[in-house]
Each structure stands twice: as C-alpha cells, then as structure tokens.
Amino acid sequence: MNLRAIKPPHETRTRILDAAEELFMQHGFEATSMRQLTAQAGANLAAVNYHFGSKDALIEAVFRRRLDAMNAARIAELDRMEKDAGARALSPRQIIGAFVGVSLRMIEDSKSGGRNFIRLLGRTYSDPQKPIRALIGQLYAPAMERFKAAFERALPQMPRDELIWRMHFMFGTLAYTLAATDTVQLIAGCKPEDRYDARLLEARLTAFLHAGLLAPLHDSADVKKAA
Amino acid sequence: MNLRAIKPPHETRTRILDAAEELFMQHGFEATSMRQLTAQAGANLAAVNYHFGSKDALIEAVFRRRLDAMNAARIAELDRMEKDAGARALSPRQIIGAFVGVSLRMIEDSKSGGRNFIRLLGRTYSDPQKPIRALIGQLYAPAMERFKAAFERALPQMPRDELIWRMHFMFGTLAYTLAATDTVQLIAGCKPEDRYDARLLEARLTAFLHAGLLAPLHDSADVKKAA
DNA sequence: TCCGGATTCAAACGAACGTTTGAATAGTAG
DNA sequence: CTACTATTCAAACGTTCGTTTGAATCCGGA
C-alpha cells in the first residue's frame, strides 16, 4: 500500500532530511557521520540505508527535495513577469530579481529549515567532489537555460561569451553570499544582528549584480595593460 | 645542524606540500587520505606525521606556504601604487587590480603549482570546517584591513557598511571564479581551451567588480519594493 | 482475531582512516 | 672509523566509518 502519504507522511524520512540539511550545512558531507545524523533525527542508524539506500543517495535526496521547487519558482516568476510585460522585454533588474529573490526569501524562513538548505547550497557549488557538483549542475540546468535566454533577450547587444561570464560572476557572488554570510565579519566587525535582514541584503546584492552585469565592456587595451 | 637548507632543502617536505595542494584541490581535505597523499609525494606514510605532526598541521602548512607571500605581494603593490600616486588618491580600479591581479597571475603559473593552490583557496573560503575558515581569515586579516582602508580613502562618500558588503561581494566573486572555473561550462558549453586565459579573465572580472563596487546606492524604496 | 508488509532496532561486519612505534638507513662532524 | 642525529620505512594500533543482517515491532485490511 502506498498510502503512506495520509497519516505519517514519511515522518522519519522527513526528519532525516531535516537533520541532514542542518548537519551537512554545519560540517559538510564527509564530516557528518550516519550515527550523528540519525541520532539528531531521532532515528535508528539503519534508517538512512533503509529509506534512501546509501549516504550518497541521501545527499542527492536532500538537494532534490528543495532545488526542483526552487528552480520551478524562479522559472514561474520569470514566466509571470514576461506575461505581464507583454511584448516589451524584461529589464535586467527584473531578471536578476527573479533569480536572487527566491534564494533570499528562503533565507528568511527559519521555520521550515530553508535557511539551512540555502547555506548548504551555497557551499556545495564549489564542493570538491565532482559527482556532487554534477548533480547540482544537472538540477540547475533547466533554470540556467531559461535565465540565459531571458538575459540574451534583455541584452541583445552583449556578446554571448561575455554574458556567460557575467552570469558566472553573478552566480558566484550569490553563492558566496549565501554560503558565507558569517565571513563578512572577517572584513569588519560587523554586528551579527543585521546579518539576516534579507530585504536589505537583497537590495544590496541586486544593486551590485545589476551594475556588474551592465558594466561597460572591457576593451582590448585593458587586456594589454594588464599584461 | 640546521644546514638542511643547502643540499636537499626539505625535499620530502616540499613534495608532500605539493602533493597535498593538488589532492586537496581535487578531492577536498577529508576525502584525501594520508596513504594517497604520501604515495603521490613518493614518501612514506609516516612522513607527514614526522615532518608536520598531523594532517591538520599539514593543511595549515599548505596555506601558510603561499598565503603569506600572496598577501604581502598585494600589500606591496598597494604601497607601490600609493607612493607613485603621491598625494592623489588611488582609483578603485587600481585597488581592485592589486587585489585580483595577484591571484590571477598565480593561476597562469602552472609550473610551480600555484594554480592548484589558487583553486584550493577559492574552495576553502566556504569550507564547512570552522577551524579551517578561521585560519584563512586570520591569514587574510592584515591584507583585508589594508584594502579596506584603501577603499575608504578612494570612496569617502560611500557608507561604511555598504562598502563592507561590496567588498564581501567582490571577494565572493573572486573566490568563486577561482574555485569553479570549470562550472562556467554548466552555464554554456564553453570551450575549455580559453578557460585559463588569465589576462582576458582579469579584464572581464575587473570590469564586473569595478561596476559592482561603484553601483548607485540602493535607496529605501528598493527595499520596500522588494518586500 | 490473525496475517503480511512496512518499519524499527541492536548488533555486527569489513574496510579505511590517522597515528604511533621501533628498527633500519643515510649522512655528517669529530 | 666511530658516534650521533636526521630521516625513512614496514608494520601494527585503536578508532570510526558506511553498510548489512535478522529478529522485533508496528499497524491496517481481511
């Protein structure tokens, strides 16, 4: 009977995913042991292998649970804005907003544990393990294509390869900002209480990314000068 | 006798550091075992503990070997430029160039293994292990202070906290760019042969960072609109 | 009530980990 | 050559890891 969804909808499964999200974020994948993880989830050591098959499969499940929905939300916001705009092209600022807004709104929701996931995600973009990055890349691919197309339409005069690099830079800035919101204290003794004012952070980040995306094109003189 | 510096100047030590740099970059700290590491270095398994004391101490040594020199080079370049400028203030572009130039020049040098280190460094900024990030932060602190002061002089009209965040964003963009120069292929089927044209990358990155740093200040209307 | 699949549990497995040990070797100063 | 220190080496240590096993327990449907 696959009616498990009615009464306890994978209660243990969910608790394991939540615990994994938090511990993976705090300590990383390798440094989080199954014993530590199942203990935090209030489950038996064997529960992970029973419900997910292996630790690697659990890692994948942690990302699939949230990332599909996140990227679907991004694409939906883009669709909605394009429908509202009718024939007019979207502004770069709107497109950026659709991309970073989803992440930053999730960071505010400390209830459902979305914050843990966002920080975990930011870390994982540059994870040394190739299969993990491959998974992330695969889950991101559809949204990436969609946003690339939107930017190309909004910035028809920008060379294709330049746009790709600027998207790369923007993506990196977002990833790092999400992953290392505590590192900013290293730059300055920043008061930690306003670290998570997501609206202010969104305004700051959007202003930075927007300006970077629309930066004047470097000319070959710059390249020669840098040599 | 501590004349070891004449004939074989810590030959084994150096080989271990080189191997560690490469393997840590490829697989991360935890996923790199001492057996794998010493095998690649052509040394005995016990050599790491003999020369460094422990695996953690080796990790620290890997960063100390390069990071002190890197930040000294950054500060020296800043000093030189300020001396050349005399009473005039440095331009933001010059300061950015001093910061990213050192990293990007190191990525070209595939001979001494600097490239491995740069990519390893980019990854480590967002390493989940707190002591590792603390070490990096500590090694970076002097240069960070120096650059913050330089930016404050170049941009006296910019609010202090805004500048800190923009430095944070710039730092993140650089870190991610260094760490994930292969991820750009996920955005588009980028030809891998020009991935490491460091001069072109420096021009692109500098243009992006410069525009982001000088972005118009967001006003409170943006924040309200984003809500 | 009793059955049968789903889930939980305690216990154990073999493998791999970082580290330690004590003997063997290399290389130099006296 | 001898004595001594620095280094290398093979072997083993105890621990922890992810996973497996087989019995115990839960629980809805006949």
* Residue A219: predicted pLDDT: 66
Contact B151, B167 (CB under 8 A): yes
Chain C footprint positions (protein CB, under 7 Å): 5-12, 16-22, 28-29
| Angstrom distance (rounded) from CA A98 to CA A118 | 16
Put simply, the answer to whether B27 touches A166 (Cβ < 8 Å) is no
Put simply, the answer to whether B183 touches A125 (Cβ < 8 Å) is yes
Same domain as B69, residue B16:
no
Question: By residue range, what is the domain housing residue B81?
Answer: 64-215
Instruction: Assign A221 a pLDDT band (cuts: 50, 70, 90).
Output: low
Task: Tell the residue number behind the tokens 């995306």, with chain if given.
Answer: A213
- Range among A42-51, A65-74, A119-128 with highest mean pLDDT value: A42-51
Chain D footprint positions (protein CB, under 7 Å): 6-12, 16-22, 28-29
Same domain as B153, residue B49:
no
The residues near B200 (Cβ < 8 Å, ≥ 6 apart) are: A223, B194
Query: Does any domain span residue A41?
Result: yes
Mean pLDDT across chain A: 85
Residue A115 has pLDDT above 50, yes or no: yes
Same domain as A200, residue A125:
yes
Residue A192 has pLDDT above 70, yes or no: no
Same domain as A89, residue A48:
no
Same domain as B39, residue B134:
no
Query: Does any domain span residue A227?
Result: no
* Residue B109: predicted pLDDT: 73
Same domain as A199, residue A110:
yes
Same domain as A15, residue A93:
no
Query: Does any domain span residue A95?
Result: yes
Fill in the amino acid letter for A144.
Answer: M
Instruction: Assign B221 a pLDDT band (cuts: 50, 70, 90).
Output: low
Residue B227 has pLDDT above 50, yes or no: no
Between A211 and A11, the higher pLDDT residue? A211
The helix/strand/coil state of A92 is helix
- Residue at the smallest CA–C1' distance to nucleotide D20: A46
Between B115 and B152, the higher pLDDT residue? B152
Same domain as B126, residue B77:
yes
Same domain as A199, residue A151:
yes
Same domain as B145, residue B73:
yes
C-alpha to C-alpha distances, A223 to A22, B104, B179, B198, B206, nearest whole angstrom: 44, 13, 22, 10, 10
Query: Does any domain span residue B86?
Result: yes
Put simply, the answer to whether A222 touches B208 (Cβ < 8 Å) is no
Same domain as A182, residue A208:
yes
Contact A82, A157 (CB under 8 A): no
Query: Does any domain span residue B59?
Result: no
Chain A residue closest in CA terms to B122: A126
Put simply, the answer to whether A176 touches B180 (Cβ < 8 Å) is no
* Residue B201: predicted pLDDT: 87
Task: Tell the residue number behind the tokens 């920008």, with chain if given.
Answer: A158
Same domain as B151, residue B77:
yes
H helix or E strand, kind and range, residue B61:
helix B55-85
Residue A101, CB-side half-sphere exposure with 13 Å CA sphere: 17
Torsion over CA: B132, B61, B59, B73 (sign) = positive
Task: Tell the residue number behind the tokens 């998570």, with chain if given.
Answer: A196
Longest CA–CA span in chain B (Å) reads 70
The residues near B158 (Cβ < 8 Å, ≥ 6 apart) are: B166, B217
* Residue A111: predicted pLDDT: 67
The helix/strand/coil state of A167 is helix
- Residue at the smallest CA–C1' distance to nucleotide C8: A44
* Residue B2: predicted pLDDT: 36
* Residue B182: predicted pLDDT: 61
Residue B148 has pLDDT above 60, yes or no: yes
In this prediction, residues B137-156 reach a mean pLDDT of: 94
| Angstrom distance (rounded) from CA B170 to CA B175 | 9
In this prediction, residues A158-183 reach a mean pLDDT of: 87
Instruction: Assign A196 a pLDDT band (cuts: 50, 70, 90).
Output: low
Query: Does any domain span residue B126?
Result: yes
Instruction: Assign A5 a pLDDT band (cuts: 50, 70, 90).
Output: very low
| Angstrom distance (rounded) from CA A89 to CA A93 | 11
| Angstrom distance (rounded) from CA A43 to CA A13 | 9
Between B122 and B169, the higher pLDDT residue? B169
| Angstrom distance (rounded) from CA B113 to CA B223 | 45
Q: Name the nucleotide with the smallest C1'–CA separation from A10.
A: C7
Query: Does any domain span residue A127?
Result: yes
Chain A CB within 8 Å of residue B92 CB: no
In this prediction, residues A91-98 reach a mean pLDDT of: 96
Reduced 3-state DSSP string for chain A: CCCCCCCCCCHHHHHHHHHHHHHHHHHCCCCCCHHHHHHHHCCCCCHHHHHCCCHHHHHHHHHHHHHHHHHHHHHHHHHHHHHHHCCCCCCHHHHHHHHHHHHHHHHHCCCCCHHHHHHHHHHHCCCCCHHHHHHHHHHHHHHHHHHHHHHHHHCCCCCHHHHHHHHHHHHHHHHHHHHCCCCHHHHCCCCHHHCCCHHHHHHHHHHHHHHHHCCCCCCHHHHHHHC
* Residue B10: predicted pLDDT: 77
pLDDT (tens digit per residue) in B79-106: 999 999 988 989 999 999 999 999 888 8
Across the interface, which of B126, B179, B211 has its CB nearest the CB of A212? B211
The Cα of B43 is separated from the nearest Cα of chain A by a number of Å equal to 24
First to last CA, chain A: 68
For residue A189, count CB atoms less than 10 angstroms from its CB and return exposed for 0-12, middle for 13-18, buried for 19 or more: exposed
pLDDT (tens digit per residue) in B160-193: 989 999 999 999 999 888 887 665 454 444 454 4
Percent of chain A with pLDDT over 70: 84
Across the interface, which of B27, B169, B210 has its CB nearest the CB of A215? B210
First to last CA, chain B: 68
The pTM assigned to this predicted structure is: 0.88
Query: Does any domain span residue B75?
Result: yes
| Angstrom distance (rounded) from CA A109 to CA B125 | 25
Percent of chain B with pLDDT over 70: 84
Put simply, the answer to whether B202 touches A101 (Cβ < 8 Å) is no
* Residue B226: predicted pLDDT: 45
Fill in the amino acid letter for B95.
Answer: I
* Residue A183: predicted pLDDT: 56
The residues near B207 (Cβ < 8 Å, ≥ 6 apart) are: A215, A216, A217, A218, A222
Domain count within chain A? 2
CATH of the domain at B14: 1.10.10.60
In this prediction, residues A159-171 reach a mean pLDDT of: 93
The residues near B210 (Cβ < 8 Å, ≥ 6 apart) are: A215, B92, B93, B96
CATH of the domain at B146: 1.10.357.10
Chain A CB within 8 Å of residue B177 CB: yes
